[in-house]
Amino acid sequence: MTEVSHFELGDFALDCGVTLPSARIAYTTYGTLNAARDNVIVFPTWFVGTHADLEWLIGDGEPLDTSKYFVVVPSMFANGLSSSPSNTPAPYDRGRFPAITMQDNVRAQHRLLSEQFDVQKIQLAIGGSMGAFQAYQWGLAHPDLVERIAPCCGAARVSPHCYVFLAGAKAALLADPVYAGGDYETVPDAGLRALGRVWAGWALSQEFFRDGLYREMGFDTVDAFLVDFWEAFWVGIDANDLLSQLHTWQTADISLTPGYDGDLEKALGAIKAKAVASPGQKDLYFPPEDMAWEVAQMPNAEVRPVPGPWGHFSEVGINPACNAFLGNSIRMLLER
């Protein structure tokens, strides 16, 4: 099992105006940092994910090749390993945990890489889903440090349609009276299961369900898929952690970085890193035309949609064809 370390941030000032006392981010590393400290890949986690969800891309001979690169996987705030509602003491515990931005996450990650490892160059900032927002933010905030970015199945700013999807998921959980404003005494099981059913209709494409591809994941029926995959996944997650990261997602926008005043075209145009954006061809959260528009605003970028019916699951390591396509895109980018 990969060892998880923690980087102590101390009293960490957040964009919302709150200073989070004794903040920390969890991280894992793979491979060896070279003497020049310039063989680094940073791979932030996605929504409620941990390093374990990303390891399918990492290793000797894998797309993120640990025989060449030092791969750092920092955990997002509120994922249960870094500072989160579930592990922060009063007064910022549970539902009182402060609002976190994508910029907060990347600022903390930059401190980790600069203070803990004295990194001189980042060869690639890569991330999927919520990690894609962070990859864009790395490219924008640190243009002289980051050589390449690879946002996968994500965006630089949450779209209105994606915002609505997330609002529906939140509402399903908050409707459970057991949630009690975050001070629940028992797990809000009904709300978490309802959220899982909302999510199930968005994560995979219509074609996925039409062709019964849930059978490839080991489920004989749609109802079995709903109960044994979707409901089972969400009931294992702390509800306050989940809602904190949902807020971060709903408010994600790289153009809120100081100096850009909400101008997304300007922010994207300032990313000088070489970039390959990899949307899922049938992703309902982040459709490929949205990422294509983002790429068109960037000076050194191209879009390579991952083909197939796997929707947002195009980048989670489940389907071999998706994995091979995405791996080839990453290798191609690292050779530039």
244 part of the active site: no
Alpha carbons 66 and 39: distance in angstroms, whole number: 10
Q: Which of 241, 253, 283, 290 is catalytic?
A: 283
Alpha carbons 55 and 321: distance in angstroms, whole number: 17
CA distances (Å), 290 to each of 101, 113, 157, 168, in order?
A: 21, 31, 10, 21
Q: Which of 110, 142, 247, 312 is catalytic?
A: 312
Q: 92 by DSSP, 3-state: which?
A: coil
161 part of the active site: no
- Residues 156/261/98/81 CA torsion (nearest 10 deg): 30
Closest of 90, 243, 89, 101 to residue 181, by C-alpha: 243
How many secondary structure helices (H) and strands (E) does the chain include? Answer: 11, 10
Alpha carbons 259 and 99: distance in angstroms, whole number: 21
Closest of 160, 158, 155 to residue 295, by C-alpha: 155
247 part of the active site: no
Q: Which of 84, 129, 314, 329 is catalytic?
A: 129
Residue 250: what are its φ and ψ, rounded to 5°?
A: -60, -30
Q: 49 by DSSP, 3-state: which?
A: coil
Could you tell me if 304 and 294 are in contact, meaning their C-beta atoms sit under 8 angstroms apart?
no
H/E element holding 58?
strand 58-59
Question: What does DSSP assign to residue 42?
Answer: E
Which residues have a Cβ under 8 Å from the Cβ of 39 and sit 6 or more positions away?
Answer: 31, 33, 68, 69, 70, 121, 123
Tokens 């009182």 correspond to 96
Question: What does DSSP assign to residue 93?
Answer: -
Alpha carbons 139 and 127: distance in angstroms, whole number: 12
In the chain, what is the greatest distance between 2 CA atoms, to the nearest angstrom? 55
Catalytic positions, please? Answer: 129, 283, 312
